[in-house]
Amino acid sequence: MNPRTEVLELSAPVSNLLKQELARLAESDKRIDGRGRFESRDIILETDCLYNAEGSAKVTWGDTVVYAGVKFEVREPWPDRPTQGSLMCGAELRPVAGLKYEAGPPSPESIELGRVVDRGIRESGCIDMDSLCIIPGEKVLGVMIDIHVLSDRGNIFDASALAAIAALKTSIVPAERFDVGEDYPLQVQKTPTMCTFTRVGGRYVLDANEQEENGGEERIHITLAEEGHLHSLQKGLKGTFTPTEFAEILEVAQNRCAELVNLVKSKEA
């Protein structure tokens, strides 16, 4: 279907019809694109795809396209952590990503996206911040991951998290350029990956597409690493859920994240 026709269909007066259709499909446990409730769209992961980034990844997740790039900088450490480097992950939702996005200062949505992905990576402890120290109290490395969403057709969170960790795990620290020794691969100990569930037609589904997001309700983002521990959780948009519902999707997330970890690891050297 032409994307513009689809957008027209989703304009305010029509969205109730979409909601009704999603609810009707849910009664027989079906989805609008024919997938199973916990079935993801196909994912293509490419790494080392951009010349100037020290690590890069492109994720094609169904019709959603996201790039992530890693850059390093040499900077002074924070006074209270003289031996620790730093990690920052940001996301841009620029107008290129879809009709609904407009130019301007960072939107709350893009800040949430960047911060949820950031927490999953940071809190997994996948990077030993002390290993980023060059001279204690004087020079440390800052690692910056930038997420660039180019086509949003649903679930940019999982696509962004996958692109970010894949770019990070294939990064080369440009030590020669900073005059601090030879280039070396960044040590990343863990592989945090994200699973997002969206309430569509009353129940949670994995990996909602654009239509399901437009006609759906709240979403839950779960980030797990390979040891099976939670590293970031976030509930977004209006709605509530029960502990029973959460237990069900958490079990799905455990299996799904393990698959995503394998996908990332298949790209490592």
Cβ-based neighbour number of residue 136 at 10 Å: 12
Nearer to another protein, 13 or 79 (CB): 13
Specify whether the CB–CB gap between 167 and 55 falls below 8 A: yes
The CB-of-210 to another protein minimum distance in angstroms stands at: 8
164 burial (CB, 10 Å; 0-12 / 13-18 / 19+) is buried
Cross-sheet strand order for the sheet of 230-236: 203-206, 193-200, 219-224, 230-236
Rounded Cα distance between 76 and 62, Å, is 41
The CB-of-247 to another protein minimum distance in angstroms stands at: 34
Specify whether the CB–CB gap between 135 and 234 falls below 8 A: no
Contacts of 134 (CB under 8 A, 6+ apart): 74, 140, 141, 178, 180
The CB-of-145 to another protein minimum distance in angstroms stands at: 9
The CB-of-115 to another protein minimum distance in angstroms stands at: 15
Interface residues toward another protein, by CB under 8 A = 3-4, 50-53, 56, 63-65, 67, 69-71, 73, 90, 92, 94-99, 103, 105-106, 144, 146, 148, 150-153, 177, 210
Nearer to another protein, 113 or 257 (CB): 113
Rounded Cα distance between 111 and 166, Å, is 20
Q: Which strand (E) or helix (H) includes residue 193?
A: strand 193-200
Specify whether the CB–CB gap between 201 and 22 falls below 8 A: yes
Nearer to another protein, 14 or 99 (CB): 99
Nearer to another protein, 106 or 181 (CB): 106
Nearer to another protein, 7 or 233 (CB): 7
The CB-of-44 to another protein minimum distance in angstroms stands at: 12
The CB-of-85 to another protein minimum distance in angstroms stands at: 15
Contacts of 118 (CB under 8 A, 6+ apart): 87, 88, 89, 90, 145
Nearer to another protein, 97 or 140 (CB): 97
The CB-of-216 to another protein minimum distance in angstroms stands at: 18
Nearer to another protein, 17 or 99 (CB): 99
